[in-house]
Amino acid sequence: MPALGSDKRLKITTAAFIGVAVAVIVWGAMHQSPPAAPAGLAKTPVAVKSETRPETRPDTILNIQKLLTRLGYAPGPADGVLNARTELAIAQFKVDTGATFQVTDYEAVLTALVSAVSAEPTR
């Protein structure tokens, strides 16, 4: 008959063993050298295209900010600088109007805003 408490020691010993085994496996995976390239493949590096924002003209952003403000959105200061508040206001305008433009196509955004302002009733 096992001694009282030996079951608890067995569980602790098993848990410690598993912890060490996992640590060894992880360490081994981290220190492996990368697999060699298959024969026949070129070893020259391949250029990877990075995702960047399209270039925006400050006057386009300034006009977008002014029109968003006129329509009751809060794009932040009308300074021609694209910021998170301006992007959020563009996205909200798109949702509110059901527009189909891409939020990063600023010329299309500007066109949609001009149309929306033109459709406003005169005061």
Helix (H, G, I), strand (E, B) or coil at 15: helix
What local confidence, expressed as pLDDT, does residue 119 receive? 87
What local confidence, expressed as pLDDT, does residue 15 receive? 65
Calpha distance 48→37 (Å, rounded): 18
Q: Tens digit of pLDDT for each residue in 85-114?
A: 999 999 999 999 999 888 889 999 999 999
Calpha distance 82→26 (Å, rounded): 44
Calpha distance 61→118 (Å, rounded): 19
Report residues of the chain scoring pLDDT below 70.
1-13, 15-17, 19, 21-24, 26-55, 122-123
**Residue 117: both structure tokens together:** 């302002």
